[in-house]
Amino acid sequence: MSSRKGGLVSRLLSVGALAFSVLLCGSANAQSGAGSVQGTVRDASGAVVPNARVVLLHLPTGRSYESATNQVGFYLFAALQPGNYRLSVQAAGMEAWYGDLVLQAGQTATVDPVLKVAGTAIEVTVAGDVSPLVTLVSATLGNAVERARIEQLPLNGRFFQNLIQVTTPGVEGVDKPEVHGLRVSSMEFRQDGAVMQDRDTGIVSRRPPGIDTIAEFRVETSNSSAKLSRPATAVIITKSGSNDLHGSVFETARNNSMGVARRREDYYAKAPHLVRNEFGASLGGPLYLAKLYNGKNR
């Protein structure tokens, strides 16, 4: 009798641990900026298509994810890194369907493919860009800035906090940002799920990530998920490797072109001598170790 009770307790503990790990994983994905792709597969008449094969391909790395629709035609890919994806759907007696989308940080992208009945000839439906323009599954007010805008927007200095301030309505301040007039500690910065602020003072880390290491960031300023601990949150996502080599070189120069240092008696009459140069480089790509590891398509 005692052995049966022990086995029952062991199974209950295992189920509880599994449920807790699933909840913890979902919370970590929200805090780290991972996104998801979901939707319902239907035919031309509007009826759902169960057991359809759905494949999601991450184009920069070549990594693919495979799933199948359930009895109501629903599919879901969770915990995805931002970037360009290609979605393909196949079902028995239906034409294959393909579409491309761009997934942003923390976004839940809803894509509902519509399959056509297959004819005697093999045909493929290419939907083109199917990136959702409006998020319909969440009431959170947020702003995502992708890598292209990080590189193109003018920036005074090389601190990403300045870029957040000029691209997100309602955000004021750099070291101790405030959102919509709330107190300083109401906004939190997270990099890949890790808090970047001093919990005591609310100041952002003195060594923030370099602008070239950031792939994308998202700032939520209203109605954030309960998985986040502050009314407003900035989620920063670090760059990851891809199948191609990529990098950058930068130089930031400031010089008053006067060349004369001011003396104490000239404090208000002459500008100080200033020569400042910030420079650096970055390089990324697949990790390759001969006969040990090949980082492509992973």
Band (pLDDT 50/70/90 cuts) for residue 272 is low
Residues 210 and 230 in one domain: yes
Q: How many distinct structural domains can be found in the chain?
A: 3
Q: Which residue has the higher pLDDT, 197 or 235?
A: 235
Residues 213 and 184 in one domain: yes
Identify the three-state secondary structure at position 149.
helix
| Boundary-marking domain end, from 94, 129, 164 | 129
Residues 270 and 227 in one domain: no
Q: Residue 289 falls within a domain, yes or no? A: yes
| Range with the poorest average pLDDT among 35-39, 110-114, 156-160 | 156-160
For residue 46, what pLDDT is reported?
95
Which residue has 């070291």 as its token pair? 175
Residues 217 and 150 in one domain: yes
Q: Which residue has the higher pLDDT, 127 or 32?
A: 127
At 197, list the tokens. Answer: 């602020």
CATH code of 207's domain: 2.170.130.10
pLDDT digits (tens, 9 = 90+) for 105-147: 888 999 999 999 987 667 788 888 888 877 777 778 888 999 8
Residues 149 and 181 in one domain: yes
270-296 mean pLDDT: 82
> How many Å apart are CA 203 and CA 188, to the nearest integer?
10
Q: Residue 3 falls within a domain, yes or no? A: no
For residue 14, what pLDDT is reported?
47
Q: Residue 54 falls within a domain, yes or no? A: yes
Beta bridge partners of 255: 275
Residue of 124, 108, 106, 128 lying closest to 116 (CA atoms):
124
For residue 17, what pLDDT is reported?
45
| Boundary-marking domain end, from 106, 129, 152 | 129
> How many Å apart are CA 77 and CA 112, to the nearest integer?
13
Q: Which residue has the higher pLDDT, 207 or 194?
A: 194
Band (pLDDT 50/70/90 cuts) for residue 265 is low
**Is residue 34 pLDDT above 90, yes or no?**
no
- Asked whether 135 and 105 are in contact (CB, 8 A), the reply is no
The side-by-side arrangement of strands in the sheet containing 35-40 is 74-80, 35-40, 108-110
For residue 285, what pLDDT is reported?
85
Q: Residue 1 falls within a domain, yes or no? A: no
- Asked whether 217 and 234 are in contact (CB, 8 A), the reply is yes
pLDDT above 90: percentage of residues in the chain: 29
Residues 114 and 64 in one domain: yes
Helices (runs of H) and strands (runs of E) counted in the chain:
3, 21
The single-letter code of the amino acid at 79 is A
Residue of 213, 232, 237, 229 lying closest to 221 (CA atoms):
232
Residues 46 and 120 in one domain: yes
Radius of gyration of the chain (CA): 25
Residues 117 and 183 in one domain: no
For residue 36, what pLDDT is reported?
93
**Is residue 26 pLDDT above 60, yes or no?**
no
State the chain's mean pLDDT as an integer. Answer: 81
pTM score: 0.77
Q: Residue 169 falls within a domain, yes or no? A: yes
Residues 173 and 114 in one domain: no
Contacts of 132 (CB under 8 A, 6+ apart): 101, 109, 110, 111
Q: Residue 24 falls within a domain, yes or no? A: no
Which residue has 């995805």 as its token pair? 80
- Asked whether 50 and 69 are in contact (CB, 8 A), the reply is yes
CATH code of 101's domain: 2.60.40.10
| Boundary-marking domain end, from 105, 129, 153 | 129
Band (pLDDT 50/70/90 cuts) for residue 266 is low
Residues 198 and 221 in one domain: yes
Q: Residue 182 falls within a domain, yes or no? A: yes
> How many Å apart are CA 194 and CA 28, to the nearest integer?
10
Provide the residue range defining the domain that includes 184: 141-238
For residue 268, what pLDDT is reported?
65
Q: Residue 200 falls within a domain, yes or no? A: yes
- Asked whether 161 and 204 are in contact (CB, 8 A), the reply is yes
φ, ψ for residue 184 (rounded to 5)?
A: -60, -45
Strands 178-179 and 171-172: antiparallel
Residues 226 and 152 in one domain: yes
For residue 101, what pLDDT is reported?
95
At 209, list the tokens. Answer: 């990530």
